[in-house]
Amino acid sequence: MNSVQELDVMLATPSEALIEFIGRWKGDILILGVGGKMGPSLARRAQNAVMAAGVKKEIIGVSRFSEEASRQQLEDSGIHTIVADLMDEVQLQALPDVPNVIYMVGHKFGTTGREYYTWAMNTYLAGRVAEKYRHARIVAFSSGNVYPLSPIQRRGSLETDDVGPVGEYAQSCLGRERMLEHFSRKYQTPMLLYRLNYAIDMRYGVLHDVATAVLKGQPIDVTMGYANVIWQGDANDVALRALEICDVPPKILNVTGAETISIRWLAEEFGRLLGKEPVIIGQEVGTALLNNASQCHEKFGYPEITLRQLIDWTATWVRTNGPTFNKPTHFQEFQGRF
């Protein structure tokens, strides 16, 4: 993995399972919030699956598109884009009616100090979208942050576990789920709540954060000593295929990789690959924010890109000073302040 171009191609290459699904699934697909970290690659993966399947289906991406270049890149890939502020009711209602919706809108970093905005984006808006698309199927991105910290021995929270969000960001994510559930039950709208943590590519994510700290000799706090990750391409594949299993009330699906990763071990591995001695501080407390995605793996298979491959790619990326989104995950956060 040596360039952004190669990375983008990898992220946008659909699995055979996705091509088969797109080939038989009816209707266009609308992606709300397509301008975020995961949205562009999800849209291109969907469009590439449409072309590979040889079917006529439109992939539509909606975002404010603060950067015109990002919108143009999607258009050049065959994706129909719409510039809209979803918080504007007139613009929301003007969007086309489609039978399949991927809802990716959300706000996380910068919550502290602007909690009101986070609640509006994560909770209020979800209700408005659910009203607008009451006749569609909706896969709605959520977060594993709705769960409490769990003992390492349990290997992560299950979909059937009680929620216990810590901090206002996580609480607003649960609020989003509750709003969606309300309208799902009211209108009999099939939905799926997609509880993700953490999707990564070489430019951001837990692996990038740890590898960069090792390379720069920065301390790595292992108090939050464990994490889950999944390749962004695999996560996007699941999101699209999950349209098939939407239900009333909403189905809940944990989405992440198969491993419970020790942050201490991860730092030592990057130290070996980068020729640096990691600076480790703190001591593992025995609980962490973890998802158990065994239900997802049973339905959709294990991620195609392995953890070892991701580690090797990330080490090469940071060693060669590859581009970064400069958006730390704050996976070490215990108090839920983002």
> Which domain does 56 fall in, by range?
4-319
Mind giving me the DSSP string for 25-65? --S-EEEETTTSSSHHHHHHHHHHHHHHHT----EEEEE--
DSSP 283-338: ---SEE--B--HHHHHHH-S-SS-HHHHHHHHHHHHHTT---------TT-SS---
The domain total for the chain is 1
| Consecutive H or E run containing 182 | helix 168-187
Residue 289 domain-assigned (yes or no): yes
> Does a structural domain hold residue 112?
yes
11 in a structural domain: yes
Measure the CA–CA gap between 146 and 269, rounded to whole angstroms: 30
CB 32 within 8 A of CB 250: no
Sheet order of strands, 191-196 included: 80-83, 59-63, 29-32, 100-103, 137-143, 191-196, 251-255
Is 18 contained in some domain?
yes
Q: What's the pLDDT score for residue 327?
A: 81
pLDDT by residue for the chain (338 residues), tens digit each?
Answer: 789 999 999 999 999 999 999 999 999 999 999 999 999 999 999 999 999 999 999 999 999 998 899 999 999 999 999 999 999 999 999 999 999 999 999 987 766 788 999 999 999 999 999 999 999 999 999 999 999 999 998 889 999 999 999 999 999 999 999 999 999 999 999 999 999 999 999 999 999 999 999 999 999 999 999 999 999 999 999 999 999 999 999 999 999 999 999 999 999 999 999 999 999 999 999 899 999 999 999 999 999 999 999 999 999 999 999 999 888 887 777 666 65
Query: Does residue 252 sit within a domain?
Result: yes
Cβ-contact 148, 315 below 8 angstroms: no
Q: Are 203 and 41 contacting, i.e. CB atoms less than 8 angstroms apart? A: no
Provide the token pair at 97: 């009616």
169 is a domain residue: yes
Q: Give the pLDDT of residue 112.
A: 76
Closest CA to 86 of 55, 110, 50, 122: 122
Question: In the structure encoding, which two tokens stand for residue 158, read together?
Answer: 């299950």
**pLDDT for residue 255:** 98
Helices assigned H by DSSP within 13-156: 16-24, 39-53, 68-76, 89-93, 115-119, 125-132
Distances, alpha carbon 234 to alpha carbons 210, 224, 231, 276, in Å: 21, 25, 5, 30
Taking the CA atoms of 282, 287, 288 and 290 in sequence, report the sign of the dihedral they define. Answer: positive
Is 333 among the domain residues? no
CATH number at residue 68: 3.40.50.720
Is residue 170 one of the residues assigned to a domain? Answer: yes
